[in-house]
Amino acid sequence: MKKSMGGFTLIELIAVIVILGLLSAFALPRFSGVEGQARAASINGLAGSVRSAAALAHSLQIAQNLAANASVTMEGNTVAMVNGYPTAGAGGIENSLSDTTGYTHTAGTGVYTIASAGTPANCSVTYVAPTAANTQPTVTVVTTGCP
C-alpha cells in the first residue's frame, strides 16, 4: 500500500499569493496616510498640554497669592510669569511642561514644531503669553504641513 504525500498544489499556492496581493493593494493606501494623521494628533495633544500647563501655573500663582509677574515653581522648575501666565520664552511655558520629547521649541517665540513633518512650520503649536492683565494666553495650532 502506497501512502500519498499531502500538501498544496502549485495552483493553490498561486491562488493564495494572488489573493494576498489583491488584499495588500487595497490595504496599503489606507495605511499610507496614517503617519500624517498621527503627527496632527500629536500636535493637538501638545496644544492641550500647553493650555493645561498655562492654566495650572496660573492657578498656582493665584493659590499662593503672588503678584501677576512673580515666578512660580512647578515640579522643581521655576516658571517665569507675565500677567498671571507663563511667558513664551524658554523659562516660561517650556518649564511648565513635563516632557517635550519629539518637539523642537524655538526659544523666545513659544513655537513648538515636529521636525519630521513635511513642513515643520506648518505642523506647530504657538503659545503667546497675554499682553495685558486679566486676559488669557493664546494657543494656536497649525496642522496643514503635518502629512
d(CA 37, CA 143): 9
pLDDT in tens, 1-16: 566 667 888 998 999 9
Mean residue pLDDT across the chain: 88
d(CA 112, CA 94): 10
Q: Classify 139 as helix, strand or coil.
A: strand
pTM assigned to the model: 0.78
Copy the grid coordinates of residue 6. 499531502
pLDDT surpassing 90 at residue 136: yes
Copy the grid coordinates of residue 72. 512660580
pLDDT in tens, 16-65: 999 998 888 887 777 776 888 888 999 999 999 999 999 999 999 999 99
Any idea where the domains of the chain sit in the sequence?
A: 34-142
The pLDDT > 70 percentage for the chain reads 95
d(CA 69, CA 86): 9
What is the rounded average pLDDT of the residues 84-97?
Answer: 90
Which class for 98: exposed (0-12), middle (13-18), buried (19 or more C-beta within 10 A)?
A: exposed
Query: How much is the pLDDT for 4?
Result: 67
